[in-house]
Amino acid sequence: MTYRFDTAAIHAGSPIDPTHGAVVAPIVQTTTFAQYELGGEPPYCYSRSGNPTRRALEEALAALEGAAHGLAFASGLAAAQAVLLTLRSGARVVASQDLYGGCHRLFTKVFSRFGVQFDLVDTTDTEIVRRALDTPAQWLWLETPSNPLLRVTDIEACAEIARRRGVRTLVDNTFATPILQRPLDLGADLVLHSTTKYIGGHCDVIGGGLVTNDESLFAELKFLQNAAGAVPGPQDCFLLLRGIRTIGLRVRKHVESAALLAERIDSLPGVQRVIYPGRRDHPQHAIAARQFPGFGAVISFELEGGRDAAGALVRRLRLWTLAESLGGIRSLLCHPATMTHASLSAQERATVGISDGLLRLSVGLEDPEDLWEDLEQALRPARAVAAAGAAKRTRATDSEVRR
């Protein structure tokens, strides 16, 4: 029987524990499992290969995406690494241009050394995707909405183009969450999550996941999960499961507050541009409305006055915390140029469109009116500072913005 989202989120991977009747999947903190005969095939033999708490998490991850199989990893990047380990030297990956900075680094600074070629293209234009896939490739790697510019790619159209050419499609669904966007239903072969974000949801655990309906792909990735070994421990799996139980409630509230802030932010002084897929002025608003109803809880905006103005805002905020990451209970703000996307060169950032005045908000679960008032009080004087900065144009300040 398949349940609706909120029911699955609470019950998946958590049948009543047969040993003691516990209603929560126990933390099975053990390295190894006793075997009772030679050559038997016990369900668990060593916790890198498999662990009951991890298994519970993997079942829950699959259930969230309405899929047959889930695999849990030590981080989102460990999950990405497992996918890239399916490749051989000479392979080619076509990927979205404004990719999560860590994936970009993994592609261009690690796997490129092993002879894998990465072509980063504007996947919001399906014609560009079609052309890119006219040259043989193994994976089409989509991130939608993208980070930090929240560009939306038409998953269904791109996955269809890829499928006809025998190319597998991966969607990084971290920003969208499984409640708002279901890539497998749209033709993707594999979904990647940094479970560190909305799935864990409480800013307290790093994790990653892969979800698929494809049996042979699952078998290959499961082999690599064990062979390369980037698995999460049982305590982390427990925390992620605990997060999953409330994901429906949390994401709905995140989205409600984000919609409210996205409507208001451009009324603040110094805000040049607000980027949010739920706004009618977002270039892919129509696709977002179809593919990604709810529009997520990340908002980016550009401040007049560049880095000085961004630094001044950060200094004045009281409730919003300057920090990497997103998708948790606590509202965070990030300056991509010096933080998440600092591993890109200035040239690469310019190509993608990440300016020094760009800020990214992850709207948390606080009362949205408090979040709004904090932005308001912080932005009013920010403008004066930006003007002063533009006049002087000499100092490089903003010590708080440094990592």
Ligand X SMILES: *Cc1c(COP(=O)(O)O)cnc(C)c1O
Q: What is the 3-state secondary structure (H, E, C) of the chain?
A: CCCCHHHHHHHCCCCCCCCCCCCCCCCCCCCECCCCCCCCCCCCCECCCCCHHHHHHHHHHHHHCCCCEEEEECCHHHHHHHHHCCCCCCCEEEEECCCCHHHHHHHHHHHHHHCCEEEEECCCCHHHHHHHCCCCCCEEEEECCCCCCCCCCCHHHHHHHHHHCCCEEEEECCCCCCCCCCHHHHCCCEEEEECCCCCCCCCCCCCEEEEECCHHHHHHHHHHHHHHCCCCCHHHHHHHHHHHCCHHHHHHHHHHHHHHHHHHHHHCCCEEEEECCCCCCCCCHHHHHHHCCCCCCEEEEEECCHHHHHHHHHHHCCCCEECCCCCCCCCEEECCCCCCCCCCCHHHHHHHCCCCCEEEEECCCCCHHHHHHHHHHHHHHHHHHHHHHHHHCCCCCCHHHCC
From 95-103, 151-159, 308-316, 343-351, give the range in contact with ligand X by CB under 6 A: 95-103
Residue 197 or 341: which CB sits closer to ligand X?
197
3 among known catalytic residues: no
For residues 184 and 332, which CB has a smaller minimum distance to ligand X in the complex?
332
Q: Is 325 left (phi over 0), alpha (psi -120 to 50) or beta?
A: left
* 197: annotated active-site residue: yes
To ligand X, the closest distance from the beta carbon of 143 in angstroms equals 6
Site string for ligand X, 184-223 (x = CB under 6 A): ----------x-xx--------x-x---------------
Considering the complex, what minimum distance in angstroms separates the CB of residue 395 from ligand X? 32
Does 367 participate in catalysis according to the annotation?
no
Nearest residue to ligand X, scored by beta-carbon proximity: 76
* Assigned token pair, 254: 């995140």
Q: Least CB distance from residue 331 to ligand X, whole Å?
A: 16
Which position among 54, 55, 151, 197 bears the catalytic label?
197
HSE of 74, CA atoms in CB hemisphere, 13 A: 11
103 near ligand X, rule: CB under 6 A: yes
Cβ atoms within 10 Å, residue 256: 13
Tokens at 190, concatenated: 């594999």
CA distance 290 to 270: 32
**Residue 148 within binding range of ligand X, rule CB under 6 A:** no
Taking residues 238 to 257 in sequence order and writing x for each that binds ligand X by CB under 6 A, - otherwise, the string is --------------------
44 belongs to the catalytic site:
no
106-110 long-range contacts (CB < 8 A, ≥24 apart) are 106/77, 106/80, 106/81, 109/343
Which amino acid appears at position 293 of this protein? P
Q: Which window, 98-106, 269-277, 299-307, 313-321, contacts ligand X (CB under 6 A)?
A: 98-106
> Per-residue string for binding with ligand X, 151-190, x by CB under 6 A?
---------------------x-xx---------------
Least Å distance, CB 205 to ligand X, is 9
Binding residues with ligand X: total (CB under 6 A): 16
Binding status of residue 81 toward ligand X by CB under 6 A: no
Q: Could you tell me the smallest distance in angstroms from the CB atom of residue 258 to ligand X?
A: 16
State yes or no: residue 102 binds ligand X (CB under 6 A). yes
Specify the residue, 12 or 240, whose C-beta has the smaller distance to ligand X: 240
Question: Which residue, 141 or 218, has its beta carbon nearer to ligand X?
Answer: 141
Q: Tell me how far, at minimum, the Cβ of 193 lies from ligand X, in Å.
A: 8
Q: Which is the catalytic residue, given 154, 172, 236, 308?
A: 172
Site string for ligand X, 17-56 (x = CB under 6 A): ----------------------------------------
Q: Does 335 bind ligand X (CB under 6 A)?
A: no
- Rounded least distance, CB 41 to ligand X, Å: 33
Please give the structure tokens belonging to residue 36: 């009772």
**Using CB under 6 A as the criterion, what x/- string covers residues 61-80 for binding ligand X?**
--------------xxx---
Exactly one of 6, 44, 48, 92 is catalytic; name it. 48
Which residues have a catalytic role annotated?
48, 100, 172, 197
* Interacting residues with ligand X (CB under 6 A): 75-77, 100, 102-103, 143, 147, 172, 174-175, 194, 196-197, 206, 208
